[in-house]
A and B are shown apart, each in its own frame.
Chain A
Amino acid sequence: MTRCQWGTQNPAPPIALVDVRSMFVSVERVLDPTLVGRACIVLSNNDGCAVARSDEAKALGVQMGDPWFQLREKPHLLDLVAKSSNYEEYGAFSSRFHETVATISAHTETYSVDEAFVGLPRADPAATAGDLQARVRQWTGLPTAAGIGPTKTLAKVAQRHAKGTGQPLVDMTTWTHEEVGDLLAATPVSEVWGIGARLTAGLAGLGIHTAADLARADAGVLRRRWSVVLERTARELAGVPCMPVGFTPKDRQQLMYSRMLGATVSSPSEMRGVLTQYAAAAARRLRSHSLETALMQVWLSSSRFRDDVAHHSASVAFDPPTSDPLRLIAASHAVLTKMRPNWPYNRAGILLTGLSRAGASPQLWPGETASRLRLADTVDEISARYGRDAIGWGPTGLRGSRRWDMRRDRLSPAGTTRWNELLTVR
C-alpha cells in the first residue's frame, strides 16, 4: 500500500483545479444580462440538443443531450431560453479566462477550454485561489468553482465535490486524513480523472470500485496489468504528486475535425466544397499547434437513423509530413469517388494522425514548402482580420453561406470578437 502524504507533512505545493461554471451559459450571460437568473441552455451543432445548462434549467429537469425539438414542446419549459453555440465568443472568453488565471500564478496549465490547473503557495492556498476566482469574476464576468488538493488528481476530486455541493471552493489540503478517505470512499472510480468506462469495468474485476479502493491498490499490479498512467493516478489519489502542473502525460496524438452537416449533401461537387472547408479548418488547427501530419483519414456517412447506412473512408499518407492546406485539401477529395449516387450524406470528418513537430523531418524542397506555408499564414491573417468569409481555398473561396453550413438560428452576436456586432451600452 502506498503511504498517504496529504496534510501538514506533505512537501509538495498545493494544486488547484479552477473551472468555469457552465462555461457556455455563463458567456451568454455576460453578453446578454437578461439571461441572468433565467433557465437557459446552449445547443449543440445545428441546434440539436442541450450541451450546457444553467442551474435553473437543471432544476427544471433538463438533461445534457436532451433534443431541443422535444424540450421546446414541453409546457413547463415555455420560459426556457435556448442559444446556438457561439464558438467565436466561447473561444475568446476561454482565452481571457486562462490569461486572467496566469496573472495570479505563474504556474498554470490550460487543461481544457474552461479548466486550468494552478500551482498555489503553501501558505494559505485557499486565499490565493479565492483571489484568483474573484479576479476571473471581475475581469471576465465568469463564475468559477475550484478544488484544491496536494495532487492534480485530488484537486479534481475536490473540484467535483465543490460542484456537487454548490460551493465555490473546496480546499482538501486542510482536511484530516479521515475526511479525505471518506470522500474518496464516496467517489465511484469512474468519476476519477482519466478513468474511462473500459477501465472501470476492468478495475471492478479486481474489487476496485471507489477512488479509495484505487488509492489503496498495489501500484505494481496496476502498472503491469494496465499502464504507468493508471499507476500515476492511483499514487496521486494517495497524495503522492506524480504529475506536476505543466506536465501533460502525452503529446497530442491526433486531430479530428468532424461535423454534422446542416442539410444532407448528395452531389460530389457539393461534397467537394464541404471537404475543402473541413480540410482547410483542420490545416489551420494543425498549424496553430505547430504540427505536421503523416496520415489523413477522411470519411463520409449518411444518417444513423436509417437502416442502410453508408460510410466511406479513405486514407492518404504524407511523406514528408505536412501542414500545407493545399496538400491536405487535395487529399481530402480522395473519398469523393466512393460516394453512392443520390445518397443523403449528413456527416463528414477528417482525422489527422502521425503528428509531429513542424520541421522535425528533413525537407526535400524546402523553398516550395516555405512559400506554401507563407501563403497559408496570409490566408489565416486575412480571415482573422476580415472574417472567415473574406477568403478561402478553392471551391469554397468566397463562400458566403452554404446550404450545408451549420444551422445556428439562435445565435447571439459576436459581441466581443467582431466590430460590426459589438456589445452595446445605453
Chain B
Amino acid sequence: MPVETTASFPNPAQDYFEGHLSLDRHLIARPTSTFVLRVSGDALASMGIRDGDELLVDRALDPAPGRVLVVVVEAERRLGRFDVVDGQAVLATDLEQIPLTAEVEPWGVATVLLHHLPLGPAGDRQRRHAAR
C-alpha cells in the first residue's frame, strides 16, 4: 500500500484536478470546422458585435433562423442574423436586410463573440504585446 511520506500539507484537490481550464475546449466544439474571423464594421452593433471583435465561426453548423451567419454576397463575407420577414428568409443587419437567395452562399455560423474590454493605455499595451 502506498504511504504518504511528505511532511507538507497534502493538496486536498490532487485527486480531483483534471487539468487547467482550456478555453479552446470550452469554446470550440469542432476545431476542424471552426475558424476565427475579425469583424470589420458595426453591422450588428445592436447585438454587441463591434468593429475589431473576433468571432468563432463553425462551418459544420447549418443556417437556421435566429443564428448569426457569415455568408458570401457578391464575393464578400458578410455578417448578419438569420431572420424570417413575411415568410422570406433574410440576413438582417442594423443597416439592411439581404434576401437569402440562391446567390448567397452560406460560409458558417457564428458561435462565440470575443470582445476585448478596454484596460486603459498600460493594459492595452500589454495586450498588444501578448497578441503578437
Binding site for B on A (CB under 8 A): 33-34, 36, 96, 99-100, 103, 135, 138-141, 386-387, 416, 419-420, 422-426
Contacts and interface: CB of A to CB of B under 8 A. Distances in A.
B59 interface: yes
A33 B77 CA distance: 8
A138 B72 CA distance: 13
A94 B76 CA distance: 24
A422 B38 contact: yes
A416 B36 contact: yes
B57 to A, nearest CB: 8
B32 A425 contact: no
28 contacts: A33-B75, A34-B76, A36-B75, A96-B32, A96-B33, A99-B31, A139-B30, A139-B32, A139-B33, A419-B131, A422-B54, A423-B37, A423-B77, A424-B37, A424-B77, A425-B37, A425-B38, A425-B39, A425-B55, A425-B57, A425-B70, A425-B79, A426-B40, A426-B41, A426-B76, A426-B77, A426-B78, A426-B79
A399 B60 CA distance: 40
A33 B57 CA distance: 17
Interface in B14-58: 30-33, 35-41, 43, 54-55, 57
Contacts of B55: 425
B60 A139 contact: yes
A423 B76 contact: no
A140 B33 CA distance: 6
A423 B38 contact: yes
Given A416-B36, A422-B54, A423-B38, A138 B132 contact: no
Contacts of B132: 386-387, 420
Nearest to A101: B32
A100 B38 contact: no
**Which of B32, B33, B43, B72 has the most chain A CB atoms closer than 10 A to its own CB?**
B32
A263 B33 CA distance: 39
Given A33-B72, A33-B77, A139-B59, A424 B32 contact: no
Contacts of B131: 419-420
A99 to B, nearest CB: 4
B2 to A, nearest CB: 28
Contacts, number: 67
Nearest to B39: A425
A425 B33 contact: no
Nearest to B55: A425
- Which residue of A103, A141, A387 has the most chain B CB atoms within 10 A of its CB atom? A141
A33 B39 CA distance: 16
A33 B76 contact: yes
A36 B74 CA distance: 10
A426 B43 contact: yes
A48 B111 CA distance: 41
A175 to B, nearest CB: 33
B58 to A, nearest CB: 9
Interface centre among A138, A423, A426 (most CB of B within 10 A): A426
Contacts of B59: 138-141
Nearest to B54: A422
Nearest to B33: A139
Contacts of A423: 35-38, 77
A103 B132 CA distance: 33
A40 to B, nearest CB: 13
A65 B25 CA distance: 44
A425 B78 contact: yes
Contacts of B31: 99
Select the residue from B35, B36, B37 with max chain A CB neighbours within 10 A: B35
A99 B37 contact: no
Nearest to A99: B32
Contacts of B77: 33, 423-426
Given A141-B59, A426-B40, A426-B43, A100 B75 contact: no
A425 B43 CA distance: 10
B82 to A, nearest CB: 15
A422 B36 contact: yes
A33 B72 CA distance: 8
B44 to A, nearest CB: 10
Nearest to A141: B59
A426 to B, nearest CB: 5
A424 B32 CA distance: 19
A100 B70 contact: no
Nearest to B49: A425
A135 B70 CA distance: 18
Contacts of B36: 416, 419, 422-423
A126 B96 CA distance: 43
Contacts of A422: 36-38, 54
Contacts of A386: 132
Contacts of A34: 75-76
Contacts of A139: 30, 32-33, 59-60
